[in-house]
Every structure is written in C-alpha cells, then in structure tokens.
Amino acid sequence: MFELLRKAVIDMDDSKVAALVSQALREEINPVDILEDGLISGMQEVAILFARKEYYVPEVLLSSEAFYAGFDIIKPLIGKSSRKPKAKIVIGVVEGDIHDIGKNIVKVMMEAAGYEVIDLGRDVPYTQFVEAVEREKPDILALSSLMTTTMTQMDMVIKELEQRKLRGDVKVIVGGAPVNHEFAMKIKADGYSPDGPSTVTLIERIIGG
C-alpha cells in the first residue's frame, strides 16, 4: 500500500492518491504511517528528482497537488494523533509581488518534512508579516520575492521586527529568483535558500534538525 501511494505521488496522480488514502483508512492503517511512509516518502523522491533536474516546476506542482489530495484527507486525523510538528513556520510572498509558485513549492516541501506551515499568501505587507510573528510565535519566518523591485520589502520586515524587539524571537530566511546569499547577509537574514528541497535542509540546520 505504501509503495503504491508513494508512486502515485511521484506520478502526479491526485485521484489515485485520494483513493489509496481512503482505502488505507478503511483498512485501519495508522494515519501517521500513511503520511510518513506514503505521502512524505513520495514527496521526498520528488525533491530528489527536482534536484537532479529530472523534474521541473510543473511536475513538482502536480506532485504537490497529489500530495495534498491525500494530506487533506488525513490532516484532521493527524491532528488528533501523537505526531507533533517539528517547528512552526510562517511563509509568504512580500508586498508588490504576486508570483507564488516558488513559495507554494517550498510550502509543500516543508509540510512534507513535518513542519507546521502558516501561509500568508502573496503580496503581503511587511506589517502583516510582523503581526503574524507576534500572533503565531513561529520558529521560522520565510520570505519570498520573485522581483528585484520587491526585494527591499524583506529588509523592511527585518527592520520592523527589530523595531518591535521581536527579531530575537524568530529566525528569518529568504528566497526567490533575484535573491542570493550576499543579499541575505546584507539585510541580516538568518539564511538563504534557492529552492524547496534546500529550504528544508536550511531549516533543519537552523533549528538543529
């Protein structure tokens, strides 16, 4: 069952994923095992294929849809189980930028890795990021920008966190096509990542796995 589910995620077959998850639940298979040994295992293989450039953004997005087709079914059951998220992450695309494909890929990779993710969406004002840090008390704040003209919003978020004396409470990571390590260091971010799989690696390094 787990191998079939894993393959359905890799094959981007959302209807098959949903059917297999429903079947597994009828067979009283533990929802946590369904998630970890089936859905997450499939997305981990997708991440490897993406890193090897055997899969590209369209394939990753379709695999993500397949992942969520199963994840949405078992999410309420997982919430009642003993499985606890490794950390809480707030993510969003900065104000002025409506490009969220990269952010969506990072989100699914994070959830597949066992993190709780609060998605603020796209075109998010810097004050909304700061308010989310105050409200949610996340371990990580992930900022995305796909445009050189909106990159400065990341700096504004960090400065506002400092102004409100919240900077020490959260680690800030940044990413997106025009962003690089040098820019991340310039605005005093805690890390930079170019894509979904490496974002998970970065987060695990920051929070100590």
Q: Indicate if the pLDDT at residue 173 is higher than 80.
A: yes
Place of tokens 């059917």: 19
> What pLDDT is stored for residue 124 in this prediction?
96
Query: End-to-end alpha-carbon separation of the chain, Å?
Result: 29
Taking only the tens place, the pLDDT of each residue in 190-201 is 999 887 778 888
Beta strands in 122-192 (DSSP E): 140-144, 171-175, 191-192
Taking only the tens place, the pLDDT of each residue in 20-32 is 999 999 999 988 8
Spans of all domains in the chain: 2-79, 88-207
Taking only the tens place, the pLDDT of each residue in 24-60 is 999 999 888 898 899 988 988 988 898 788 988 789 8
Q: What is the pTM of this model?
A: 0.74
**Range 88-207 classified under CATH 3.40.50.280:** yes
> What pLDDT is stored for residue 28 in this prediction?
92
**Range 2-79 classified under CATH 1.20.272.10:** no
pLDDT band of 83, cuts 50, 70, 90:
low
